[in-house]
Amino acid sequence: DKASIGVTGLAVMGRNLARNLARHGHTVALHNRTDKRTRELVDQFGSEGEFIPAYSAREFVDALERPRQIVIMVKAGEPTDAVIEEFAPLLESGDVIVDAGNAHFADTRRREAQLRERGLHFVGTGVSGGEEGALHGPSIMPGGSKASYESLGPLLEDISAKVDGDPCCTHIGADGAGHFVKMVHNGIEYADMQLIAESFDLLRGALGHEPAQIAEVFRTWNTGRLDSYLIEITAQVLAHTDAGTGKPFVDVVADQAEQKGTGRWTVQIGLDLGVPISGIAEAVFARSLSGHADLRIGSRELPGPSRSKLKGAEAEGFADDVERALYASKIVAYAQGFNQIQAGGSEYGWDIDLGAVASIWRGGCIIRAKFLDDIRGAYEAEPGLPTLLTSGGFNAAVADAQDSWRRVVATAAQLGIPTPGFSTALAYYDGLRAPRLPAALIQGQRDFFGAHTYRRTDRDGAFHTAWATDDRAESEA
C-alpha cells in the first residue's frame, strides 16, 4: 500500500506532524536528509500508525499515492529551496508540495510561481502551536491554489485543532496568503505578549505585588473575557519558583527578550503596505530595547520620577484598571493585525475571509483565546468592517474601559514604568477618534520646505503656497 501523504524533515515539528497524521489513520511516508531521524521515529513511534520510512528521495516519492502530497518541514530559507530542488524533478504534474515551515510569504510567492510553471502545486502553509500543537492539533493556514486544497484540505483539517467541532484550518488564499497570515499571527502574538508583560510590570511596580500574587490575578483574569492560552501560561510562569535559588523564576531569568524574526517581518511588511501596526511594532522594539545592554544604562544616569509606587487609596482598583487597559489594548493590537491582513489581501489579490481567520485561530495556535470568537462574529456580521474598534461589542468594551486605560497610561508615565504597548494602543485609538489631526500642519511644513503640495478641505486639487514670497500666494499645482 502507498502513503496518502509524506513528510520530509523530521525534527521536532515534522516528527510530530507525521505522528499526528498517522494517529488519524493516514499512512505517512517518512524522509529526512539524514537517516537517523527517520529510523528514530519508526523505532519510537512506529506503533502509533502506518509509516513508510524512505531513505532516498526516489524511495520517498515512489511510496506516495498520486497525486502525491509532500509536506516539507525543514529550517526555513535555503534548506527549503534545497529540498524543493531535490524533490521537484521527481514529481509529476498535479503533485502537491506543502511547505509547512515558517517561510517568508515573499519566498512562498516566488516558489509557488516557479513550481506552477512546472505543473506542480506549491502550498505555503502556516502552522502554529509549537511542537505540542503539531502533535495534538495545530492551527493550520494553507495558501496555494484552490485545486490543491481539494485533496489536501481534508487531511489538514483532520489533524488540526477543533473548536466547537470546527477545524482550525481553512484555505486562506492563493500563493503566499497562508504564510502571510501566519506572519501576522506571530506579530499579534508579539503584541499580546508585550501587553501581558506590561500588565505584570505595572502590578509589580505600581502596587508592589509579588510574582506569585500576580499569578493569582492572571488566573482570575483567565476566567473572564481575557481567557486565553497566553494568560494561562503567564500565570504558570509567574507562579514558578526557581529550584536552585528558591526565588521567583521571573527574577532569575535575564530580562532580554529574544526573537526569531517573524515579528520583525510583520513590521517590515506593515511599513511597506503603509498599515499602522504600531502595537506590533512597539512590541518588536520593546524586545530589541531589552536586548540592548549597552543602552540600558540604568536609573543612576537617567533619573526617574520622585515616586515609584501607588499608595493607599490610589492603589485601590488599580488591578481592575490594568485588566481593562489590557483588554482595550489587546483589541487595538488585533484590530491592527486584521487590518494588515486586509491590506495584504488587497495588495496581493487574496480574497481572505477575516472571520474564517479569526475562527481558525480560536484553537491550536499561541494566540488562541475566547476573544477570537467575538472577532469571528464581528467579521461575519460585517465582512467589510473598517476596524474591529467600531464593531458593536468591542466598541462598547473600549468605551467602558477607556477611563481605566487612560488612568493606567497616565499612572505608568508618572511612576516611570515603561508601557510602550499600552501607550501606543491608546494613542492609536485617540488618533482614530480625532476629528482633526496635526497632519495638516505636517502638510504645511512639507509644502514649505519641499513644495510637496497639499490638498484642501474645501476644494479639490493639489495646492502650493509660495512660502518664500511676501504675499504667500496660493496656486493650484
Binding site per annotation, positions for substrate: 102, 128-130, 185-186, 190, 260, 287, 446, 452
Please report whether residue 14 would count as binding ligand NBP according to CB under 6 A. yes
What x/- string results for residues 288 through 307 when contact with ligand NBP is judged by CB under 6 A?
A: --------------------
The DSSP secondary structure of 238-262, one letter per residue, reads: HH-B-TTT-SBHHHHS-S-----SH
Please identify which residue in 131, 201, 232, 347 interacts with ligand NBP, judged by CB under 6 A.
Answer: 131
Please report whether residue 11 would count as binding ligand NBP according to CB under 6 A. yes
Please report whether residue 444 would count as binding ligand NBP according to CB under 6 A. no
What is the residue whose three cell numbers read 482598583?
A: 317
Which residue positions form the known binding site for NADP(+)?
Answer: 9-14, 32-34, 74-76, 102
Please report whether residue 396 would count as binding ligand NBP according to CB under 6 A. no
Stretch that binds ligand NBP, among 7-15, 60-68, 280-288, 316-324 (CB under 6 A): 7-15
Please identify which residue in 58, 59, 82, 89 interacts with ligand NBP, judged by CB under 6 A.
Answer: 82
The residue type of 450 is G
Please report whether residue 57 would count as binding ligand NBP according to CB under 6 A. no
Stretch that binds ligand NBP, among 125-133, 144-152, 204-212, 290-298 (CB under 6 A): 125-133
User: Minimum distance from CB of 385 to ligand NBP (Å)?
Assistant: 29
Nearer to ligand NBP, 103 or 214 (CB): 103
Nearer to ligand NBP, 186 or 194 (CB): 186
Nearer to ligand NBP, 236 or 346 (CB): 236
H-state helical runs in 254-353: 262-273, 278-291, 318-348
The catalytically annotated residue of 36, 86, 157, 182 is 182
Q: What DSSP character marks residue 94?
A: T
Nearer to ligand NBP, 139 or 419 (CB): 139
What is the residue whose three cell numbers read 521567583?
A: 248
Please report whether residue 33 would count as binding ligand NBP according to CB under 6 A. yes
Among positions 94-113, residues that touch ligand NBP (CB under 6 A) are: 101-102
User: Minimum distance from CB of 154 to ligand NBP (Å)?
Assistant: 22
Is 182 a catalytic site residue?
Answer: yes
Please report whether residue 10 would count as binding ligand NBP according to CB under 6 A. yes
Please identify which residue in 46, 49, 79, 377 interacts with ligand NBP, judged by CB under 6 A.
Answer: 79
Point out which residues pair with 142 in neighbouring strands: 125
Helix (H, G, I), strand (E, B) or coil at 214: helix
Q: What DSSP character marks residue 51?
A: E
> For residue 316, with 0-12 CB atoms within 10 Å meaning exposed, 13-18 middle and 19 or more buried, which class applies?
exposed
Query: Sheet containing 5-8: which strands, arranged edge to edge?
Result: 51-53, 28-31, 5-8, 69-72, 96-99, 121-128, 139-142
R_g of the chain, CA atoms, integer Å: 26
Please report whether residue 120 would count as binding ligand NBP according to CB under 6 A. no
Stretch that binds ligand NBP, among 126-134, 173-181, 418-426, 435-443 (CB under 6 A): 126-134
According to DSSP, the β-strands at 139-142 and 121-128 are antiparallel
User: Minimum distance from CB of 128 to ligand NBP (Å)?
Assistant: 6
User: Minimum distance from CB of 364 to ligand NBP (Å)?
Assistant: 11
The catalytically annotated residue of 157, 189, 282, 323 is 189
Point out which residues pair with 99 in neighbouring strands: 72, 124
| CA triple 135-140-142, angle to 5 deg | 135
Please report whether residue 195 would count as binding ligand NBP according to CB under 6 A. no
Helix (H) or strand (E) holding 312: none
- Shortest CA distance to 190 belongs to which of 294, 278, 99? 278
Q: Residue with CB nearest ligand NBP?
A: 101
Whole-angstrom Cα distance, residue 326 to residue 395? 15
Number of other CB atoms surrounding residue 133 within 10 Å: 25
User: Minimum distance from CB of 173 to ligand NBP (Å)?
Assistant: 19
> For residue 258, with 0-12 CB atoms within 10 Å meaning exposed, 13-18 middle and 19 or more buried, which class applies?
exposed
Whole-angstrom Cα distance, residue 323 to residue 196? 10
Is 65 a catalytic site residue?
Answer: no
Stretch that binds ligand NBP, among 6-14, 220-228, 245-253, 425-433 (CB under 6 A): 6-14
- Shortest CA distance to 23 belongs to which of 184, 186, 210, 155? 155
Please identify which residue in 3, 5, 7, 13 interacts with ligand NBP, judged by CB under 6 A.
Answer: 13
**Residue 8 φ/ψ, nearest 5 degrees:** -115, 135
Nearer to ligand NBP, 40 or 474 (CB): 40
User: Do residues 234 and 220 make contact, with C-beta atoms less than 8 angstroms apart?
Assistant: no
Q: What DSSP character marks residue 194?
A: H
Point out which residues pair with 121 in neighbouring strands: 96
Write out the residues near ligand NBP by the rule CB under 6 A: 9-14, 32-34, 37, 73-76, 79, 82-83, 101-102, 127, 130-131
Residues annotated as catalytic (active site), given as ranges: 182, 189
